């Protein structure tokens, strides 16, 4: 089965469409959360995701705030401004869809899915070997897929010596999956690994491979819509540089 893994779309509809086109035909799509936040297109993104067949979708921390289940004060000032805007403009039907989703860890076959981490699905960033090692004790499947950090990466646990190694994955280079791994597909809408192209991954459940992918999209058009919506300039600037 060929599975599209996406995360952290962050209301960037142009990037999402580019990813869906680039990925081609897939059997299922697993979204690791944060449909909204930061970007200019919350309704278009949620509507596009709602129409994806064979979808598994989690809530991220920005989604939780947008639907009123997390205080906006939990976020920094610029992120809060975007969420306040999204909470006002998201349609009732899109709100209902988001409220139907869960932020809890979900197991799909050999993979555990979480937005942040299996230990703390909403807030914890897995950015280093220490945090990764703690989280390897919080899932029982061979591998775990997480988002939240906006960085394409893999953490590998050597169970013989109990050591964790970290690598930023290379686009279009397939990884052979073996226990025990934590993998991040990167961010569709706001990458933070100095590569502005939209990030995602393809998971092949039969071949047991994980292939990180990148695709270019119209960044300038998204920047223009961010500015027209009166959202923070930082959110326009960073998508051009991938930070």
User: How far is 3 from 228, CA to CA, in rounded Å?
Assistant: 35
User: Residue 123: which pLDDT band, with cuts at 50, 70 and 90?
Assistant: very high
Cα distances (angstroms) measured from residue 9 to each of 18, 138, 179, 189: 12, 26, 28, 4
| pLDDT number for residue 59 | 98
Q: Provide mean pLDDT across the span 226-237.
A: 97
Dihedral sign of CA atoms 133, 198, 8, 203 in order: negative
User: Residue 3: which pLDDT band, with cuts at 50, 70 and 90?
Assistant: very high
Cα distances (angstroms) measured from residue 230 to each of 82, 180, 234: 9, 44, 11
SS3 165: strand
| pLDDT number for residue 222 | 98
Q: Provide mean pLDDT across the span 180-192.
A: 98
209 - beta bridge partners?
Answer: 176, 204
Domain boundaries defined on the chain:
2-241
The hierarchical CATH code for the domain 2-241 is: 3.60.21.10
Q: Provide mean pLDDT across the span 80-101.
A: 97
Q: Which of 48, 88, 47 is nearest to 66 (CA)?
A: 88
| pLDDT number for residue 104 | 98
Please state the pTM of the whole predicted model.
Answer: 0.97
| pLDDT number for residue 11 | 98
96 contacts: CB under 8 Å, gap ≥ 6: none
Residue 89: CB atoms within 10 Å: 14
34 contacts: CB under 8 Å, gap ≥ 6: 7, 8, 9, 10, 60, 61, 62, 63, 115, 147, 148
| pLDDT number for residue 86 | 97
| pLDDT number for residue 235 | 97
Mean pLDDT of the chain: 97
| pLDDT number for residue 31 | 99
Contact assessment for residue 216 and residue 21, using Cβ atoms and an 8 Å cutoff: no
Task: Please report the beta strands in 45-151, taking only residues with DSSP state E, as ranges in sequence order.
Answer: 55-57, 106-108, 111-114, 143-146
User: Residue 72: which pLDDT band, with cuts at 50, 70 and 90?
Assistant: very high
Residue 140: CB atoms within 10 Å: 10
User: Residue 219: which pLDDT band, with cuts at 50, 70 and 90?
Assistant: very high
User: How far is 198 from 133, CA to CA, in rounded Å?
Assistant: 28
Percent of the chain with pLDDT over 90: 100
């Amino acid at each position: 089965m060929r599975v599209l893994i996406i995360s952290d779309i962050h209301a960037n509809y142009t990037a999402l469409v580019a990813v869906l086109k680039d990925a081609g035909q897939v059997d299922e799509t697993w979204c690791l959360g944060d449909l909204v936040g930061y970007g200019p297109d919350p309704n278009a993104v949620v509507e596009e995701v709602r129409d994806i067949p064979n979808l598994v979708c989690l809530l991220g921390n920005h989604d939780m705030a947008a639907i009123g289940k997390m205080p906006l004060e939990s976020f920094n000032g610029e992120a809060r401004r975007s969420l306040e805007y999204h909470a006002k403009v998201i349609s009732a039907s899109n709100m209902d869809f988001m409220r139907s989703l869960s932020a809890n860890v979900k197991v799909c076959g050999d993979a555990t899915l979480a937005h942040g981490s299996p230990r703390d699905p909403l807030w914890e960033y897995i950015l280093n070997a220490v945090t990764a090692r703690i989280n390897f004790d919080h899932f029982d499947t061979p591998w775990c897929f997480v988002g939240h950090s906006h960085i394409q990466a893999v953490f590998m646990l050597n169970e013989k010596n109990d050591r964790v190694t970290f690598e930023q994955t290379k686009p279009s280079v397939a990884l052979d999956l073996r226990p025990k791994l934590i993998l991040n597909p990167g961010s569709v809408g706001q990458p933070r690994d100095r590569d502005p192209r939209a990030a995602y991954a393809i998971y092949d459940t039969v071949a047991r491979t994980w292939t990180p992918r990148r695709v270019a999209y119209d960044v300038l058009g998204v920047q223009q819509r961010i500015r027209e919506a009166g959202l923070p300039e930082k959110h326009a600037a960073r998508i051009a540089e991938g930070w």
